[in-house]
Structure 1
């Protein structure tokens, strides 16, 4: 037994030494370890609207920049006087050409709410497991926020002096803009923090196939415009035993049925046309054929319907959409309704006047007893930023060096990011991250949000290289 125990002990020691050597071989570089530490710190600072603090996160990243060699005078934590927890970080790496317009790196640091009891892991503790990082904000949008911050530090430490200045803005309130939005506030209170030739932002990633191969790198140019409309129908009401021909609920229901069946016209722009052209070559032949059919004839309803059945987003990219999202009416089960209202949410193609969409809804409903009013301020209208060679060539160059053969796919967001504020303010804003996802995606806003460790590190490298090229480019 003693001999066996001694042999086992020796074997264990040898194995431990082997594993230790293997661990040392696979250990991240000091450079990567510093990034992981910064990323972990940022992710684990709770920045939800309910109990979190963007100001704390902004101050933490400011401290990182200053420790990395960025002069403190070139950093600011900008906090609205009446919202002490909604701070935003502004920083700059100064370029050599004072006449060249800077570029802006934009990322939001607030996150969607997350309940511990719903998650498999603590949503505010970064967990690395089986090649994935899990946590709220691990992808949306602290992956880009951490990468931008770390890259600015690395530029400084390497002695890189860009031709044009590189600005960084880490902002609060992207997820809850109806309460507060940092970009909107900065444009009003500190416009110099966001003034730039163009900006890089969230809004696009990359596509992996089932084997983990890098298939397509996306670049987002433009967003649809968010706009709600309130529809109302009223009557004097009465006893439910004496129905009339003017039941507001029935009247509104008929109108909404017409609206549901109506399709706004198809209209391509540079980004959506580029998307269809690229994806038609990557998708299965039968789907690619339908995409090419729509490119050849935007009025090919049969082809559009087939694509819509596969992916609703393909239809949404092509046209303005309006859909009923809420309805409220009646006041008692035994009374004729006196009033009913519905909310119709529209996502409007860039360049289409909101007033024209309201007129079209009125026409489709075809009932002058239904009133249609815009809810809130008009959505921000701006043309999609151009996908010029100055933007696209650096993307192609770095992508080909990292992921040879991956297609570059332009896209337009059917949702909304903070880019809508910048585009409307005259700062062309592009979604570009270099962070690839599988078919399931990052689970952003949902349970167990995640990002592949390799995708995060690759995205950090991609952004480092592409921003460097942009920063040294001539106007």
Structure 2
């Protein structure tokens, strides 16, 4: 009886909480639940089904079919939605972007079903809850909410929903070239930019992404004649590759900094106590401070902001347990500081591994992404939106150590600023990992943030 009573109390509490939310929030939660259920990872063919669902929501919310474009590509697709200006546009369009795909999750590894939205202990659990189906939901919710209000923007607002951000970003290139998008004055990307909470839940700082490092992946291969395992050779492809990776592990690329990274690290340093804050402040004041840079090199959260980084992520070697390996290959993923050439990083890797027999191959086609200089109008709109829920929190631009669709837009000539409106604790960051989660209040406040920024920039 006690268990049943507790279950009934929990259900009543959840029902009461939902009753207290606004209609647009209840609809957004329903959208969120639906999109989490689509396994939109590469290879599962779920993207067209999710897009069909979103089209239904948008059309029911008043978006005409003529303002929705589907861009198919293989098993996936992108979607572009136009919210036209009322009358003759006063300025160029604004692009808002989110990606619909996710990194795959194996249900057997998770504590909960990753493709079912589960609300528990103040969190939403599920693959994509933070990366980036909260952003997808916020954009769809904003479009429908503005349609219901009869909002009349002074310029075209264009909303992009990307189908392969986690892999090739080929649909992002289709979107960037689309007639509704290619002349955009700037873009707001929901896939990055966000706020930091300390472990007590106090807001510390809000970050707006204005630049990204170049994403480049190299394959390092050691060839060898091989032979019978009963006749070991002095040269062995696996040992030679292991020795090369050990040298790479011990190596640090030179310290680098620009105005954006120094401002960011200095601002974060002011809000953080102890050795971390001291190191950040010291580095911001003088990037050549050896003690500070050495300390930050040990901090995964900040090392990527201070230099180019390269790390081994995959291995493949040998062909039989009773044969010497004829080939050993390592995949090395690099996040390259702005204005550094991919070829220069490859040359430095070759110097570090110090084995001329190692063959290098660059995967895909890495392209440097330019820095987007911060716009006062964009920063002002983001600041106003954030301060509604988090009064007085510092708003600071930063360099993204990871990679997003923003680099494709920037390469296409569209300055891009990432702002999700989501505040999280460092201990709650599980994007791409097991048991991905987002605090329930962060989801609802993120909805409000995107709505306010869209209305502010579109109506002014």
TM-score class normalised by the smaller sequence: 0.7 to 0.9
| Residues 361, 211 of structure 1: alpha-carbon distance in 2 compared, 3 angstrom cutoff | closer
* Structure 1 residue 298 corresponds to structure 2 residue 280: no
| Residues 254, 49 of structure 1: alpha-carbon distance in 2 compared, 3 angstrom cutoff | closer
Distance 1:430 1:472 in 2: 18
* Structure 1 residue 95 corresponds to structure 2 residue 82: no
Write out per-residue CA displacement over residues 445-464 of structure 1, whole angstroms, 9 at most, x where no aligned residue: 23332212211111111111
Distance 1:385 1:94 in 2: 26
CA contact (8 A) 2:71 2:174 kept: no
CA contact (8 A) 2:369 2:408 kept: no
Residue of structure 1 equivalent to 2:101: 110
Residue of structure 2 equivalent to 1:133: 124
| Residues 163, 250 of structure 1: alpha-carbon distance in 2 compared, 3 angstrom cutoff | same
Residue of structure 2 equivalent to 1:216: 205
* Structure 1 residue 157 corresponds to structure 2 residue 148: yes
Write out per-residue CA displacement over residues 147-172 of structure 1, whole angstroms, 9 at most, x where no aligned residue: 11111111122122111211011121
| Residues 121, 295 of structure 1: alpha-carbon distance in 2 compared, 3 angstrom cutoff | closer
Query: Where in structure 1 are there 5+ consecutive unaligned residues?
Result: 1-11
Distance 1:327 1:127 in 2: 35
Number of residue pairs aligned between Structure 1 and Structure 2: 449
Distance 1:267 1:24 in 2: 48
Residue of structure 2 equivalent to 1:229: 218
CA contact (8 A) 2:263 2:284 kept: no
CA contact (8 A) 1:231 1:344 kept: yes
* Structure 1 residue 397 corresponds to structure 2 residue 384: yes
Residue of structure 2 equivalent to 1:45: 38
* Structure 1 residue 348 corresponds to structure 2 residue 339: no
TM-score, structure 2 normalization: 0.88
TM-score, structure 1 normalization: 0.85
| Residues 246, 444 of structure 1: alpha-carbon distance in 2 compared, 3 angstrom cutoff | closer
Whose radius of gyration is greater, 1 or 2?
1
CA contact (8 A) 2:40 2:46 kept: yes
Write out per-residue CA displacement over residues 217-262 of structure 1, whole angstroms, 9 at most, x where no aligned residue: 1211222112122333445556778777655555444443333332
SS at match of 2:432: coil
Query: Where in structure 2 are there 5+ consecutive unaligned residues?
Result: none
Which residue of 194, 198, 203 corresponds with 2:192?
203
The within-5 A match list for 1:312-327 is 312-327=300-315
Write out per-residue CA displacement over residues 270-301 of structure 1, whole angstroms, 9 at most, x where no aligned residue: 43222201111011143222222222322222
SS at match of 2:426: coil
Distance 2:314 2:108 in 1: 28
Residue of structure 2 equivalent to 1:3: none
Which residue of 97, 114, 127 corresponds with 1:123?
114
